[in-house]
Amino acid sequence: MIDIWPDIAPVAGTPACGPPSFAPERGWWVTRHADVRAALTDPAFRVPPVDSGPPGTLAWLRASVSRFSSPRRHPERRSMVVTALDALDPDELRQEAARRTAAVLDRAAGRLDVMRELARPVPLWVLAGRLGFADPVAAGTAVAVVAAAYHPGVDVAAVRRADRAVATLLAAVPPAAPEVRANLIGLLVQACDATAGLIGAAAHHLLPRPGGHPPGVAETAELLAEVLRLDPPVRATRRVTASAVRLGGRELPAGSPVLLRFDAANRDPAVFVDPAAMRPGRPGGGLLTFGAGERGCPGDRHALALATGVLDVLRERCQRTRAPLCHEPHPTLTVPTSLEVSVR
C-alpha cells in the first residue's frame, strides 16, 4: 500500500539552498546539503568555545560536556556519553515511553497539551530513570530549567535558575568522576528540547484533525524520519572557522562565524526528489538533523525510540484540535509552545 501524505511547508525563516552567503550582522549561512555535510566533517570548522565557571554551575556544565569541547577534549568526553548510551536498549526505552504516555492519557479529562504533559516530561523521565538518576521526575524538571538557559544570550535570572537546577541534578546523578557526571547531565539536557520538538512536530503533522483521518498507515519510525527531515527540531548548528577555508566555491576567512542550516539542507533538491513531499520509507540516507562526522549525535537511535513510544500511543488514541500552533522563539531550535489534542 502506498502512503500519500501532504507536502510539509518549511517553517517560516527557512532559507532556500544556495552557495554559502555572508552578511555582516549574522556571518556565514550554509544551506546546501553537500556544503553542510562538508563543514560538519572538516576539522577547520570548530564548535564555538564557551567560558567555564565555578564547579556545579551552568557555565561549568557547558564547559565540561562533549558538545562544546575542544578537539583535544572531545573524544574522551564523547566516549563517556557513548558508554552510558550503550547500556540502554532503545526498544526498552520505546516501550517505557509508550507505557508512561498511556498512563498520562488514562488520567486526561478529554483534552491534553502534548508539549506540557508528554513531549517534554516523558522522554526525560524515562531517560533519567534508565541512567540511574534519583527521582527521575524531579530530575526532568531540573533539566528543563537548565535547557532553557543552555544556549548563549539568556538573561541573568535564567542563568541563576539554571545554576540551582545544575546543583539539583548533581545531587541526583549516580556517583562518578565530575566530568562523567557532567556529561550524563548534558545528555539529558541535549535530549530535552530536541526530543520534545520532534514529538511536537510529529503530533502536529501526523495526528488526524477533527472530521478527518491521516492519509496513510506508515510505521511511526518511518514517519518520524521524514518529520526530522522536513520539520527538524534542531534547524541549525554553529561553527567557527579555525583557519581560512574554501567551502562551496566561497573563501571563508579564519575566525568566521558559520551557521549550518539543517532545515534548508534537508530539502536540497540535489539530494531529495520532491523535497517537500513526505514519503515514509524514502530510500537512501542524507538526513542531516543528527549531524555528521565525529560530532554527530550519539543518541539518535535512543531519541527516535523515545519519540516513537510516545507517538505510537498518540496516533492510536488522540486527534488534533483546531488550536493554532506557535513555536518558542529560538535561533536554532523549532519547538512548539503547546499542542492540544483530544483523547479518545
Could you read off the pLDDT of 170-196 as tens digits, one per residue? 999 999 999 999 999 999 999 999 999
3, pLDDT greater than 70: no
pLDDT category at 1 given cuts 50, 70, 90 is very low
Could you read off the pLDDT of 54-96 as tens digits, one per residue? 999 999 999 999 999 999 999 999 999 999 999 999 999 999 9
The number of C-alpha atoms within 13 Å of 282 and in the hemisphere containing its C-beta is 24
CA separation for the pair 82, 62 (Å, rounded): 18
Cite the beta strand spans of the chain per DSSP E: 21-23, 27-30, 45-46, 111-113, 236-241, 245-247, 250-252, 257-261, 318-320, 340-343
Cell of 161: 535558575
Mean pLDDT calculated for residue range 133-141: 96
166, pLDDT greater than 80: yes
pLDDT category at 211 given cuts 50, 70, 90 is low
Residue 231 in contact with residue 11, Cβ under 8 Å? Answer: yes
pLDDT of residue 154: 79
Judged by average pLDDT, the poorest of 42-46, 309-313, 319-323 is 319-323
The helix (run of H) or strand (run of E) holding residue 198 is helix 178-206
CA separation for the pair 220, 198 (Å, rounded): 12
Cα-based torsion angle of the residue sequence 152, 141, 196, 308 in order, rounded to the nearest 10 degrees: 140
Residues in the chain, overall count: 344
pLDDT category at 330 given cuts 50, 70, 90 is confident
Cite the beta strand spans of 204-253 per DSSP E: 236-241, 245-247, 250-252
Query: Sheet harboring 257-261: ordered strands across?
Result: 21-23, 27-30, 257-261, 236-241, 45-46
pLDDT of residue 14: 92
pTM across the whole model? 0.95
Q: Give percent above pLDDT 90 in the chain.
A: 85
Indicate the average pLDDT of the chain: 93
pLDDT of residue 214: 55
2, pLDDT greater than 60: no
**All structural domains of the chain:** 42-343 (1.10.630.10)
Q: Which of 299, 300, 298 is nearest to 287 (CA)?
A: 300
Could you read off the pLDDT of 308-317 as tens digits, one per residue? 999 999 999 9
The identity of residue 16, as a single letter, is: A
Mean pLDDT calculated for residue range 315-334: 91
pLDDT of residue 261: 97
Q: Which residues contact 212 (CB under 8 A, 6 or more apart)?
A: none
CA separation for the pair 43, 294 (Å, rounded): 10
pLDDT of residue 212: 61
Residue 215 in contact with residue 5, Cβ under 8 Å? Answer: yes
Cell of 22: 555572508
C-alpha distances (whole Å) from 33 to each of 72, 200, 310 are 27, 25, 30
> Using H for helix, E for strand and C for coil, what is the string for 128-162?
HHHCCCCCHHHHHHHHHHHHHCCCCCCCHHHHHHH
Could you read off the pLDDT of 267-319 as tens digits, one per residue? 999 999 999 999 988 877 789 999 999 999 999 999 999 999 999 999 999 99
More confident residue, 282 or 343: 343
Cell of 156: 541573568
Cell of 23: 552578511
Q: Give percent above pLDDT 70 in the chain.
A: 97
What three-state secondary structure class fits 120?
A: coil
